[in-house]
Chain A
Amino acid sequence: MTKRAPDVSASPPRRRSKYTLAPLVLIAANVVLFALFFVWPAVIGLVYSFTNYTGVGAFQFVGLDNYQHLFGDSTFFDALTRTLLYTVLFVPLNFVFSLLIANVLVSKHAKGVSVARVFFFIPWLLSPIVVGVLWRWLFGENFGLVNYLIEKVGGSAVPWQSNADLSLIVVVVAASWAWTGFSMLLFIAAIKNVPVSYYEAAALDGAGPWRQFFSITLPSIAPTSFIVILLNTIHGMKEYPLFASLNNGGPGTSNNLLVQYIYQTGFKAGQIGYASAASFVLMLILMAVAIIQLMVNRRVENR
């Protein structure tokens, strides 16, 4: 042990001193970009969140005023709760559908998998703006296909746009539809990595497809499930373009989400300091999500 130790510590410094220039040249461009577009904004964003900066001219430090105001601001709270509600609805819906589709796509028995895959994938390619336009077109109150079909089977037109909760649900469905392709890709890769012998052993023991799914597939792909939930949660928390084109946060302002709130206070109302404070609240939420997920993930892996 003691003999080997110097060897181990001796080799890295030699490599390090030999090659410093080449790696530095290689990462130089990215370091500059990182400093300009990440470190600098992050630092001034934090600083501005304690000021009353408007984007131009002088500003004063106001301490924690922005944060205090934020917690008394009902518009901010509405945006925050709406964002959380949206995420809580979107993530499970997307999870269930993408997992279901991934399972069907890897099934040996389904026919036409390679063609069907394209159908699930195209929505992911579309921009959130086009997805919003498309679902607005489907769910138009007076002209949409969905209401037409509902009336055709004897129902009455549903106020998809003028009821705040319904219009949120339309966005949830649209987002889940659009993001299935991506989550599905991750699930397919994970399911393919589950050893076939597990299923063979389970089949010999008489486990049916459902039992196999819940006892083998689901536990085996747990790490991927966590990544999917994490990425979708983060994505849901920052959703904006889809709302912008589907119902513009409407009806009225009832579905204004956090990013839209930041955009409006920061750029429309010119309250950069206040918007920066709101941004940091969003950041803290995202970090909390990431840390909780990491902790849960670790516990599952240790089990």
Chain B
Amino acid sequence: MSGYIERPRYQCALGGALATLNSVDRAVAIVHSAPGCSSSADSAANVGSGYWGATYCGGRATPSTNILEKEIIFGGESRLKEQIESTFSIIDGDLFAVITGCMTDIIGDDVKSITETFRQQGKNIVVAETGGFKGNSSTGYDLILEAIFTQFTEKGLEKNPRLVNILGLVPSQDVFWRGNLIELRRLLIELGIEVNTFFTPFDNTNSLKTASSAALNIVLSNVHGINAAKAFKETHGTDYISLPFPIGPSATNEFLKEVGKSLGICSNKVDEVIEKEKAWYYSYIHSLTDIYNDLDLQRNAIVIGDANYGYSITRFVSDDLGWIPAYVAITDILEDDQKELIKKQFDSFSHDLRPKLIFEENTSRISKHINEDLSSIESEFDHAISPAFVLGSTLDRPLAAELKAGFWSVSYPIVNRVVTDQGYVGYRGGLRLATEIFSVILGNR
């Protein structure tokens, strides 16, 4: 069980649920909580994910009951009912979702039965109890998806053997979720598969409504979205597989093979796609060969991020960029069995390239661990991992400065650059990341 957390790299359950809803076009959250919960959560999602910003009905426009002391004492149910009614009369949306904060969960408002009366009137409304103390963004993503899959998604649809749902990229927590999902879809379409990505600006609530016709859920994480996939399986009978989030050609080759195997796609077809995509990647990387070798662009890597990014970025810089992974810090709040799953992923690294793995939620302790370990390695001159490069959150910039290392922000929160359609997944995402990293190294020329 987790204790206090210094400079946390996620939001609460309410925040995760809100960001997830706001990433769906024409989905509208109704936040049943004190004033401030939705603004804080939205501002953390907006600023922390590279200025994600305005959404259809998010930010300050989010309908919210803004409950006060009198509702804490007498209950907030009538206020919620009033708010749902007025929201329907003024807001134009395709899916409404009541999500709750700490205080309404503690006082025990019966939000489910209130929402149920509106559902019986035929309204597209779901409810999830997302009190902040229930967990972090990832928990909130699971809770709201469970609610949508069980209360909104149509039951009993015929399965389409070529359709998959993608889960496991938590909007805003994965700062690049939009670009990543779009690239994933492009790749899978190349394999001849149809894909529900749900959370790009080009999706709508229909894909959530008909998601049960998918033959398979692909969870690109071994932590995030697993519970949602389990709830999906229980309600709609669709199986799921959990695969690592693939960045760069090496990881993506494996990813496509795995997906192909799961869906029974002919291996020739898979190989054909891999060859074509790899050729695309190498046609650009090839042109950087001079600078890679002449300017010595190889680095010792320190990677700091959540369960998805910690492993996948390390894998990319090691397998494709030829860097030496030195330290990896995983910042999620994790159970022991989840930590084991992540440790196991790192077993695939050869002895010389296996980074020191740190499970640490507290920001200052990450640098402390690394600095202590470095000072235990005898060195007459500079520290043992110079030249180093830190890939982490903006919060890790001071660590990079301390180590005189290069720095690029790739994990939440990112406040020192703007993120729009960028993504790191696949061949194109890997190329983008390589381009950005090398640009940072050459930035002072």
Chain A bound to chain B: no
- A-contacting residues of B (Cβ < 8 Å)? none
* Interface of A toward B, CB cutoff 8 Å: none
